[in-house]
Amino acid sequence: MKLKNKVIVVTGGVRDIGREVSKKLAAEGAKLAINYFGSEDQAASLRTELAAADAQAIILKGDMTAQADVDKLIGSAIDQLGGRVDGLVNVVGGLVQRQTIDEMDEAFFDKVMKLNLNSTFLTVKAAVPHMQEGSSIVNFASQAGRDGGGPGASAYATSKGAVMTFTRAMSKELGPQGIRVNSLCPGMISTSFHDIFTKDNVRSNVANGTPLKREGKPGEVADSVSYLLSDEASFLTGVNLDINGGLLFS
């Protein structure tokens, strides 16, 4: 249990990749403050699942683009789980909708940036004052942040590229305090994200184009999160780690 008794906050932690992250960290002994926003049923089922596993976890609804909700999440972790934050995982994010540059307006662009970049900024800013030497932050970027994304995903790709740069900047700023900051850049992972936004033939073509000839699994991403949070990754910071089956090399 390489995360035993570590207090870890997970945003967007009840669906798809976030859910697997929460379950993995709980299995590694972490005490969790898990955020969700619109997934009531998934939050209820995860709460039941973690309770059955005797995991110590609180699951709270909140909008991570709203300062008050971010403060409530971090405050609850501090008050209920041990007076500190040892880890932060920013899974919250999304594409929202595929729109080309001629289709999108400023409001849509701002919405995507706020969801993916501002939420990361707000949670990091709120958590850092409660972090000690040896703490770790894992942000979620995307392969789209490296290659510009697919059709109609320019706003999403731009926001995820910004998350990658923010990760590097925070690694330099927080490194002297002993706080590590890394991010993951998932490619084609089998989740509802692609069920909604990616056509079946595109998914098949992408999977067949990877050296491993398949899509990734949410649990495989969760394993990487657990590693980056742990002391096993104690000399890794400022890393934007690709997890795409070899489709794209950074």
pLDDT digits (tens, 9 = 90+) for 198-213: 888 988 988 889 999 9
The residues carrying an active-site annotation are 156
pLDDT in tens, 147-199: 999 999 999 999 999 999 999 999 999 999 999 999 999 999 988 777 787 88
Which position has the token pair 């995820």? 160
CA 119 to chain centre: 11
CA quadruple 68, 72, 73, 77: dihedral sign: positive
CATH class of 7-186+220-243: alpha beta
pTM comes to: 0.95
d(CA 143, CA 95) in angstroms, rounded, equals 13
